[in-house]
Amino acid sequence: HSIAQEVVGLFCMILLTLTALVANIVVMVIILKTPLFRKFIFVCHLCLVNLLSAIFLMPLGIISSSSCFNWVIYSIAECKAVIFLNICFISASILTISIISVERYYYIVHPLRYEVKMTIRLAVAGVIFIWVKSVLITVLALVAWPHGNGATSASRCTVYWSPGAHKKVFVILFSITCFILPTIIILAVYSSIYRVARTASLQQAPVPAQAVAPRPRCDSLASQVTILTARILMLPRLIPDHLLGSNKAILTLVLIVGQFLCCWLPFFAFHLHSSVSVGTVGGGQEEMAVTWIAYSSFAVNPFFYGLLNRQIREELARLRRSCLNHPLGQELCLSISEASVHENFLQLLQ
């Protein structure tokens, strides 16, 4: 590979790592600092997993992916630690995204049930479940790993690196547990949310006929201006409101689901294909590419699940003005109803 390709690749990996660090820290600080955002616990947990990945996992990925670090050699124990971090953080991130989608489903489709059952205790239990399942999957991956004082190149120390038939069994189980099932859940949940949003938009009451009925004309200048203004303001209604709402719902759901699939589908498809193919050797350029496409999820998640929310953006702007010592002016305090956990998401769907 040319030096230019190596430099560009290294720059992109470092940029992704820095973006993941800054974006996740910002969203976590805003959520933890604002008492009204205490229900964003799963979004905060997702940012925590992404932040841990940016601190530990992504720098190790840079060492494994760049030829500048070909001289780095891992012992068996060190390689096990790298594999543990990879599988554990990937599992925790995907499982958290799945729980966020289910939480949004109950918030929008069953709001009364959500308000009653969604307690801090239940949220903490969900977080514990995520980490217990992630650790169990990781331990299963390391059961048949080789022991001893051997060593391997950093570029060979990847999720694919595993001995014998155990590798095939684990990769299939890992893909089913951490990708196929979460994908089915996410698609089913967001499809149900879209159907609810579309039904609500179709049931929107039309503009009453008397509201747009022509009134007796008057020849005065003020009356002519009023009639002209009314006609101009009615031009946007040529596009039905329910179509606009439906398009917003489609765009929102396509962005969320599409981002998840674009990041993780290449990663799991590659490892599934490699595990069942005979004579395939891991650690190549293809594995490096799909790994960093998956790692990009750690940098993109805080934007899709945090900074796109209106309340979080407003709080970020307020903190920025405060840090710059600008006068805050008359700040409007968010009411309890306005600070609901998924208000921005619900508004987009509506």
Q: What is the reported pLDDT for 38?
A: 64
Count of residues in the chain:
350
Place of tokens 């430099």: 7
Task: Read off the CATH number of the domain in which 27 is found.
Answer: 1.20.1070.10
Predicted pLDDT of residue 310 = 75
Please state the rounded mean pLDDT for residues 95-105: 91
Taking all residues of the chain, what is their mean pLDDT, rounded to a whole number?
77
Which pLDDT score, from 0 to 100, does residue 93 have? 95
In the predicted structure, residue 242 carries a pLDDT above the cut 80: no
Q: What share of the chain is helix, strand, coil (3-state, %, to 5)?
A: 75, 0, 20
Q: pLDDT at residue 177 above 70?
A: yes
95, part of any domain:
yes
Question: Binning pLDDT at 50, 70 and 90, where does residue 240 land?
Answer: very low
- Assigned domain for 232 exists: no
Burial of 138 (0-12, 13-18, 19+ CB in 10 A): buried
Full DSSP string of 201-249: HHTSPPPPGGGSPPPPP--SHHHHHHHHHHHHHTGGGGS-HHHHHHHHH
Is 267 within a domain?
yes
Place of tokens 């190596």: 6
Q: Is the pLDDT of residue 82 over 50?
A: yes
Closest CA to 47 of 262, 233, 298, 265: 298
Count each helix (H run) and each strand (E run) in the chain, helices first. Answer: 13, 2
In a domain, 318, yes or no: no
Residue 76 lies in a domain: yes
Contacts 24+ apart (CB under 8 A), 337-342: 338/311, 339/36, 339/37, 339/311, 340/39, 340/107, 341/37, 341/39, 341/40, 341/103, 341/107, 342/103, 342/104, 342/107, 342/108, 342/309
Average pLDDT over residues 4-20: 91
Which pLDDT tens digit goes with each residue over 191-233?
888 888 777 777 764 544 444 445 555 555 455 544 444 443 4
Between 340 and 322, the more confident residue is 322
The answer to whether position 225 is within a domain reads: no
* CA gap 43, 107 in Å, rounded: 14
Helix (H) or strand (E) segment spanning residue 75? strand 73-75
Q: Give per-residue pLDDT as tens, 130-142.
A: 999 999 998 888 7
How is residue 314 written in tokens?
């407003």
Around Cβ 212, how many Cβ atoms within 10 Å? 10
In a domain, 162, yes or no: yes
Average pLDDT over residues 297-302: 94
Say how many domains are in the chain.
1
Report the chain's C-alpha Rg in angstroms.
25
pLDDT band at 35 (very low <50, low <70, confident <90, very high): low
Would the pLDDT of 165 be above 70?
no
pLDDT value at position 232?
Answer: 39
Comparison of pLDDT for 137 and 309, the residue scoring more? 137
For residues 69 and 154, the answer to whether their CB atoms sit within 8 Å is yes
Q: What domain range is 61 assigned to? A: 3-204+245-313
Q: What is the pLDDT of residue 46?
A: 94
Q: What are 212's two structure tokens? A: 């747009």
Among the ranges given (50-59, 127-136, 147-156, 289-298), the one the predictor scored with the smallest mean pLDDT: 147-156
Residue 322 lies in a domain: no
Chain position carrying tokens 């949940």: 189
Tell me the percentage of the chain whose pLDDT exceeds 90: 29
Q: At what angle do helices 3-33 and 310-323 cross, to 10 degrees?
A: 90
Contacts of 277 (CB under 8 A, 6+ apart): none
10 Å CB burial of residue 131 (0-12, 13-18, 19+) is middle
Average pLDDT over residues 303-320: 79
Does pLDDT of 167 surpass 50?
Answer: yes
